[in-house]
Chains A and B, each alone.
Chain A
Amino acid sequence: MKLDQLTKPWEAFSYGFLDQSAKREMRRRILKAIAIPGYQVPYASREVPIARGWGTGGLQVTLTLLKPSSVVKVIDQGADDSVNASSIRKFLRRVSSARETLDTMEADVIQSRHRIPEEKLREDQILVLQVPNPEPLRPVQPDMSEARIMHGDADYGQLWLTLYEQLVRSGRIMQGSSYPSMVNGRHVMTPSPIPRWDVPKMHMAANLTILSAGREKRIHAVPPYTRVEPLVFDDVPYRIEDHADKTCYRSGVTGFFMNELPQDDGSSSFEVSDSQYGVKHIRRQEGEPVTLGETYYREGRLER
């Protein structure tokens, strides 16, 4: 048997890389995830040309959502210019003809790893978060079947117990990211490893957020204007990172989530984690006509 008999004739990739049946399945799963906020919907995660764990879940959702007129932004830990973000952005443009942007306000679809932009998202924008581990119960219940029963029963006592233990042992809640949060008063989700700073941004947000884990083959979603409440004790308030008084050494902005940069002399300097927001500030200071969007936080305090 010859090689050409064993291989299919050449044909172009489908629009947006994924074939139509894959996209149809993704759309159905996304719709189900939106219908049951916070519920993890299983899906047949496809192979895409990046490794598992590098954003394949988010990439499949983004590929399903894009159309030629879309404007897409990709964030990696707050930055638009990391190798991973650049590669994903370039790939998306090549397979969909969607326009790239770095500006949060301009984007229709924002795929992000571990951050939510500082500028408020609108109703016509979709945030796609890459999720390494979608199961908030994993640390307390490694058996997936049992965990699903616990979700069905809204049996989240063990998550509360984890927080209790942190308070007893450390005097404060040590959960730095992936803070377990109740969605729409029913399902507890992990909001992906976004910092505590970002979790309140999801509460009653105008935009749709889709969280997708490619390796774990699970999608969950937070529809617009949905309650997202971090698990907290009545007498121990939720605390965000103590960044309210930090100033970005590059852009001069204050009161946003910062990256800490240790210095040789033992001190630290800070730069704003949402790199493009910092860049917009710098460009504005240099006299360019840049529009800054409304932000979730103002002077380090959450705006409602």
Chain B
Amino acid sequence: MTPASSMNAALERQPPRLMLADPILTMTGIEKSFGDVRALRGVDVTVYPGEVLGIVGESGSGKSTLLRMMNLEDMPDRGEYHLALPGQEDLNLFTLDRFSRRMLRARHIGIVYQNPHLGLRMNNTSSGNVAERLLMAGERSFAVLRARAKESLDASEFPISRMDARPSELSGGMQQRVQLAKAIALEPALLLLDEPTTGLDVSVQALVLDTLKRLQRERRITMVIVSHDLGVIRTMADRVMVMRNGDVVEQGLADQIFQDPQHEYTQQLVHAKL
């Protein structure tokens, strides 16, 4: 089931229990170049329902480019992308037109960016930022928008008394919570987290990670988290994919990757962390 690309020289480990289900996300042979730079070299990714896939690697390894493609913000030069969504035809999402991609992204994929300016409208209220996502899905009742924005913010452990404060008036940790509330407002099939705690101090980082773990536990949200911080990946991920120079060098269960890394680069990463 899981494509083990020889091109990636990936070492596929024993699958976790979650992998017994059909995958929710399948990407195969993803290639992307920026000029002479090959950002992704035929990457294969499989994500199973309810699991957290961590993607680690140094800067320039291609992990954020891959995440942008999962969010249909960027298109590859080559490759296929399938999402198993209820009631949706199984097709390569990269063949969809721009409008269909945008609608699919708005309805089924949530994302939390490292930089809140990318994910939030800083001069709108926090509740408005969440409501925007609901408005895109066609909700037109003001009372329902208020209630659902409140519910999402509450689930993200954002203080409801500040729900009408502008993100520009909030701390970095609070801004990430607003992003998270916006991302989960429509209960997405896939939640993408791009370095969600980078730039936050350690105590705030821990709180945000706790919130993410609780949400994942309670709602069984499928998550893909990208980080260069192995501590974050270790805390969050069920499975880990290690990337370097646009290739997947190793992937497997989080515990195995951290306790018994096989690839030289992974060993360097893990030992550098330790």
Q: Check if A234 sits within 8 Å of B131, measured CB to CB.
A: no
A-side contacts of B124, CB under 8 Å: 161, 165
Are A168 and B132 also in contact (CB < 8 A) when A233-B140, A233-B141 are?
no
Q: Check if A164 sits within 8 Å of B164, measured CB to CB.
A: no
Asked if B99 is an interface residue, CB under 8 A from chain A, the answer is: yes
Q: Check if B131 sits within 8 Å of A164, measured CB to CB.
A: yes
Asked if A87 is an interface residue, CB under 8 A from chain B, the answer is: no
Number of interface residues of B (CB under 8 A): 17
Q: Count how many pairs of residues, one from A and one from B, have CB atoms less than 8 Å apart in the complex.
A: 43
Asked if B34 is an interface residue, CB under 8 A from chain A, the answer is: no
Q: Check if A161 sits within 8 Å of B142, measured CB to CB.
A: no
Q: Check if B135 sits within 8 Å of A157, measured CB to CB.
A: yes
Q: Check if B128 sits within 8 Å of A165, measured CB to CB.
A: yes
The contact of B127 among A160, A168, A233, by CB within 8 Å, is A168
Q: Check if B127 sits within 8 Å of A234, measured CB to CB.
A: no
Q: Check if B141 sits within 8 Å of A158, measured CB to CB.
A: no
Q: Check if A160 sits within 8 Å of B128, measured CB to CB.
A: no
Asked if B202 is an interface residue, CB under 8 A from chain A, the answer is: no
Q: Check if A233 sits within 8 Å of B142, measured CB to CB.
A: yes
Q: Check if B135 sits within 8 Å of A161, measured CB to CB.
A: yes
Could you tell me the distance between the alpha carbons of A158 and B102 in the complex, rounded to whole angstroms? Answer: 15
Contact residues, B79-97 vs A (CB, 8 A):
none
A interface SS class:
helix
Q: In whole Å, how far is B164's beta carbon from the nearest beta carbon of chain A?
A: 5
Could you tell me the distance between the alpha carbons of A292 and B124 in the complex, rounded to whole angstroms? Answer: 48
Contact residues, A223-265 vs B (CB, 8 A):
233-236
Residue of A nearest to B136 (CB): A157
Contact with B along A135-173 (1 / 0, CB 8 A): 000000000000000001101011011001101110000
B-side contacts of A153, CB under 8 Å: 99, 102
Could you tell me the distance between the alpha carbons of A161 and B135 in the complex, rounded to whole angstroms? Answer: 8
Contact residues, B146-184 vs A (CB, 8 A):
164
Contact residues, A180-196 vs B (CB, 8 A):
none
A-side contacts of B135, CB under 8 Å: 157, 160-161, 164
The contact of A167 among B99, B121, B142, by CB within 8 Å, is B142
A-side contacts of B102, CB under 8 Å: 153, 155
Are A158 and B164 also in contact (CB < 8 A) when A164-B142, A233-B140 are?
no
Q: In whole Å, how far is B19's beta carbon from the nearest beta carbon of chain A?
A: 37
Could you tell me the distance between the alpha carbons of A64 and B145 in the complex, rounded to whole angstroms? Answer: 47
Could you tell me the distance between the alpha carbons of A164 and B104 in the complex, rounded to whole angstroms? Answer: 24
Q: In whole Å, how far is A230's beta carbon from the nearest beta carbon of chain B?
A: 13
Residue of A nearest to B106 (CB): A157
Asked if B251 is an interface residue, CB under 8 A from chain A, the answer is: no
Q: Check if A164 sits within 8 Å of B128, measured CB to CB.
A: yes
Could you tell me the distance between the alpha carbons of A157 and B135 in the complex, rounded to whole angstroms? Answer: 6
Name the 10 nearest CB pairs between A and B, nearest first.
A233-B142, A157-B136, A157-B135, A160-B135, A234-B141, A161-B132, A234-B140, A236-B142, A235-B141, A153-B99
Chain A positions within 8 Å of B, measured between CB atoms, are: 152-153, 155, 157-158, 160-161, 164-165, 167-169, 233-236
What are 10 pairs between A and B in contact, CB < 8 Å? A152-B99, A157-B132, A157-B135, A157-B136, A160-B140, A161-B135, A164-B142, A165-B128, A168-B164, A233-B141
**Apart from A155-B102, A236-B142, what 18 extra A-B contacts exist at CB < 8 Å?**
A152-B99, A155-B136, A157-B136, A158-B132, A161-B121, A161-B124, A161-B128, A161-B131, A161-B132, A164-B131, A164-B142, A168-B125, A168-B128, A233-B140, A233-B141, A233-B142, A233-B145, A234-B142
